[in-house]
Chain A
């Protein structure tokens, strides 16, 4: 039975849904949520970041259900997010309290606290590892054991030290402006509509929820010439942050009364961007500014891209699309962009008929005039 969009399509639709289930099941293999969680860290992180819902378990479930499609998984998570009550806002987080797993600076060799490479693909060679075809659980266990033994020989520091921000050193030198802490309540773009010009808090939220690929492409365009921002990465850090909420009924505001509700892993980037500024004598000078990026999980490309776009949007400029707030903020959301693009698959018979009519009429008119 054919697919008739107006009526009689019910059976066809049922069959289509069954068919997509068949595609997932036909291989007779079952992908456990646990397997996704322990082997697809990057995918899980990206899904959490784009759906702005921090839950590795749910992200893994979404990935399983979506057969690994990023846009579907994010779609599922966002839809689920709509069903969740939003009870509290957390207390603001100071990222220098981060438990750092990785931290590098591309600006200074010699940053206070040192460079910490952590886990990264950056220095691996992208050669297909054919050994993984026959990976054995026993071999992995053996590898893990010897790795643990290796680690035992590493001397453990007695104290946990805070890693100072690289920018603080440059601030002391007067190369960066010292800003007052802005503790105004951020706007929540999931609860109110985005307005232009957008506040910085709204802008950062849109960017951090944005689609990894879209952010990367726009930031790349800006870097390559269709924009004005070419930063040096001051600091990339990956690590976990403790999240606290206040007791809803107790208003005394002391930190002791706050509840620790868990850790989230984030990637944070501060990019240093040289900009032209005018001094008191109306002369142009060069100064550094910071582009900021942060997102859930470990996704360094996205976060660096975010820091570039943050800086682009701080300096609005009609000449370049990447410096146009509406252009950037309205087009980088995964659910919105993929949703609208895919709507083109819906029937457009009526509108198309109307277009067809006017094109025919116009063509007819032209021919008449010419003759």
Chain B
């Protein structure tokens, strides 16, 4: 049999190749074009506005951004988003890998769990967000009622009640909201990974007397390593950009995308483009680092 490559060079292009190639090219321009314009415009001079022509070249708007946009604390929002993204990433990795392992065995109710997570994936986010918001507000109400009831006899509990704000928060409701979005992706990736996984390696390890933990640590984990990094990257980037599920479930503070959404209607200077350029750079850095890490892990495995 001829190798695929030599054959493909000789065959003429099928009918429809060029029109479709044109469609594809236009699609790529459509994807990148607008983004390139705001990267360019974020380097406007101090006189520059929201549209072309470009008036001078400077880092003016990035400096403006560092000084803050109005009342919004961008740096704090950035830190919150990074922190939440990192925690979501870690939990997505651990929970998805564990669930992926569980699904390889006989898991009673596994189908139900699978359908629930897929349902979460396609559920309109505003509904989940509203539900989690409600849940935590009702929890607040319940806790306050309980503290009032018990507080009659205890000054300590009364003080707790006075200081109690809300259970809504970055690491409670918002974290949960993000996980309902990242975990289904994690599980689907783990399915894809374990479908291609050859269990002979594990059997060999067991035959050699490895404990289940040793088998996992030294055989399974290195083999699935690059995909696990991919799951982590999905977790971080999905969280980093999440608005709809966070909107009702975060309480008093905001993440960066939520601040950004608010700024679109109030900020009318290229500083908002500078912010766009900045967040894009962070995303691309994360992606670059994870791709490098996955590649490095893949290479370690072969050596």
The answer to whether A and B come from one shared complex is no
